[in-house]
Structure 1
Amino acid sequence: MGGTEHLDIQREGATLVLTLNRPEAKNALSLPMLVGLYDGWVEADADDSIRSVVFTGAGDSFCAGMDLKALAGRSTGGERYRDRLKADPDLHWKAMLRHHRPRKPVIAAVEGYCVAGGTEMLQGTDIRVAGESATFGLFEVKRGLFPIGGSTVRLQRQIPRTHALEMLLTGRPYTAREAADIGLVGHVVPDGTALAKALEIAELINACGPLAVEAVKASVYESAEMTETEGLAAELKRGWPIFDTADAKEGARAFAEKRPPDFKRA
């Protein structure tokens, strides 16, 4: 499965589970974590048996943002990963989903702190589940910094602009309920159950036709910046070929025969 000392990669059936694993540092981002995370996204895209990804954190936090000392490769064993960053200077942005969009659906399972870089990575996921004690926020301005992980662009496209600007300009923390109220997360569940809920959603996705799922996700993001007329035309280009697949025929047969479909990605 791969992974690094700060990033665990596991399989749960057809779901790849990527777990940030620096609980003693509230899963603050390190170079080993970013390298492992990037490798996980690549694995998910490359392996057709993977139909969904769950993204979570070990311990009592999702991610408390960037650890600048660790990113520099000091004191966390990161020295041996520096060559990876030199070979691909964009690797950290791909790992954080700023410059990469996985073709498989990504479900975030958040417990505890999901702030700064954690909230920025969250915006690169598709479906979001939070424990009721989770905390969100973009704290950069409070430190005189800029949330350069994509938040000034993405956040206003995902939640109402007034809420995006309040989060960006005040640097204040948000509860899970507040995050749900403004549309940043879709589910708030009892503490300790976010991962189970995310895996439950993943199973529902995994039971669907994989070609259809990936085409639907691609169409949603592709059409987001188009006019309605352009988007509808693009949707037809992506959608019509799905009807000609063996999976589409299998879906119809399974419905008629009252049995679960056996999709083959064909």
Structure 2
Amino acid sequence: MGGTEHLTVRREGATLVLTLNRPQAKNALSLAMLVGLYDGWLEADEDDSVRSVVLTGAGGSFCSGMDLKALAGKGMEGEQHRDRLKADPDLHWKAMLRHHRPRKPVIAAVEGYCVAGGTEMLQGTDIRVAGESATFGLFEVRRGLFPIGGSTVRLQRQIPRTHALEMLLTGRPYSAREAADIGLVGHVVPDGTALKKALEIAERVNSCGPLAVEAVKASVYETAELTETDGLAAELARGWPVFDTADAKEGARAFAEKRPPRYRRA
């Protein structure tokens, strides 16, 4: 199991838990965090025993975005990881889920600040849980910057355009309740319980057929921008093979025998 000084990795059953771990900086992005994140996504993709991923933050915050001190030329912690970025100049975008989509479901557990690059990374996750005191927002325009982590493209596809534009153009903070009202997050829970709720959702995902889960996730994303006719054709191409798997037969047999299914990814 991987991890770096700013990103911890642990297992909770079939769930891989990735924790942004730079609490003294409200988990502002660092080289060590980006490298750890990217390696975590790869581990989840490559390990068939992992059925879901939970992304969260340490110390009561999710992620406060890019380290502005580093952007101003003050240097960024974790210089020993710079060779990874040189070897793969796209690594930071993959780490932030701009240029990489994990094949396993990703559930975000948000407490505290989830702003700027935090809100951008959030848009690459599949299911989102927030503590009631969490704060969201894309603050880039307030600093004369551009939210280049994908938000001008993705946000309007995930929430109504009028809300997307307000968030993007005003740079104002949003409460967890506001974020839920506009559809940016799916659950608002008492502070300190977002991770518990996310793990509960992950366990439900883990109990389902893994081949079916991964095929459903892939179909949702690959058909999102297709016409209905093309989307339905793509859905059939993605979905029919699932019915021929041993797992599909096991699911039906377990239902008939009134027992939990034993899926084998076959």
TM-score (normalised: structure 1): 0.98
The equivalent residue for 2:171 is 171
The equivalent residue for 1:263 is 263
| Aligned counterparts of 2:68 and 2:173: Cα–Cα separation in 1 | 21
Give yes or no for contact 1:61–1:112 (8 Å, CA) kept in 2.
yes
| Aligned counterparts of 1:88 and 1:185: Cα–Cα separation in 2 | 31
Residue aligned with 1:16, SS: strand
Give yes or no for contact 2:67–2:76 (8 Å, CA) kept in 1.
no
Matches within 5 A, 1:210-249: 210-249=210-249
Distance 1:144 1:251, change over 3 A: same
Cα shift at 1:69:
4.4
> CA offsets per residue over residues 13-40 of structure 1, 9 Å max, x none?
0000000000010000000000000000
| Aligned counterparts of 2:18 and 2:159: Cα–Cα separation in 1 | 25
The equivalent residue for 2:147 is 147
| Aligned counterparts of 1:174 and 1:260: Cα–Cα separation in 2 | 41
| Aligned counterparts of 1:2 and 1:49: Cα–Cα separation in 2 | 15
The equivalent residue for 1:34 is 34
> CA offsets per residue over residues 136-187 of structure 1, 9 Å max, x none?
0000001110000000000000000000000000000000000000000000
2:47 is equivalent to residue 52 of structure 1:
no
Matches within 5 A, 1:159-198: 159-198=159-198
2:79 is equivalent to residue 74 of structure 1:
no
| Aligned counterparts of 1:238 and 1:70: Cα–Cα separation in 2 | 44
Structure 2 counterpart of 1:93, which letter?
W
> CA offsets per residue over residues 178-197 of structure 1, 9 Å max, x none?
00000000000000000000
| Aligned counterparts of 2:79 and 2:141: Cα–Cα separation in 1 | 30
Distance 1:73 1:33, change over 3 A: farther
Cα shift at 1:70:
4.9
Give yes or no for contact 1:29–1:70 (8 Å, CA) kept in 2.
no
Distance 1:245 1:75, change over 3 A: closer
| Aligned counterparts of 1:183 and 1:155: Cα–Cα separation in 2 | 10
Cα shift at 1:2:
1.3
2:91 is equivalent to residue 91 of structure 1:
yes
The equivalent residue for 1:62 is 62
Residue aligned with 1:53, SS: strand
Sequence identity percentage: 88
Q: Unmatched 5+ residue regions in structure 1?
A: none
| Aligned counterparts of 2:144 and 2:190: Cα–Cα separation in 1 | 34
Q: Unmatched 5+ residue regions in structure 2?
A: none
Cα shift at 1:74:
3.4
Residue aligned with 1:234, SS: helix
Distance 1:211 1:73, change over 3 A: farther
The equivalent residue for 2:130 is 130
Distance 1:145 1:118, change over 3 A: same
Cα shift at 1:132:
0.1
| Aligned counterparts of 2:154 and 2:75: Cα–Cα separation in 1 | 31
TM-score (normalised: structure 2): 0.98
| Aligned counterparts of 1:252 and 1:51: Cα–Cα separation in 2 | 20
| Aligned counterparts of 2:118 and 2:203: Cα–Cα separation in 1 | 25
**Once superposed, which parts of structure 1, at least 4 consecutive aligned residues long, lie more than 3 Å away?**
68-75
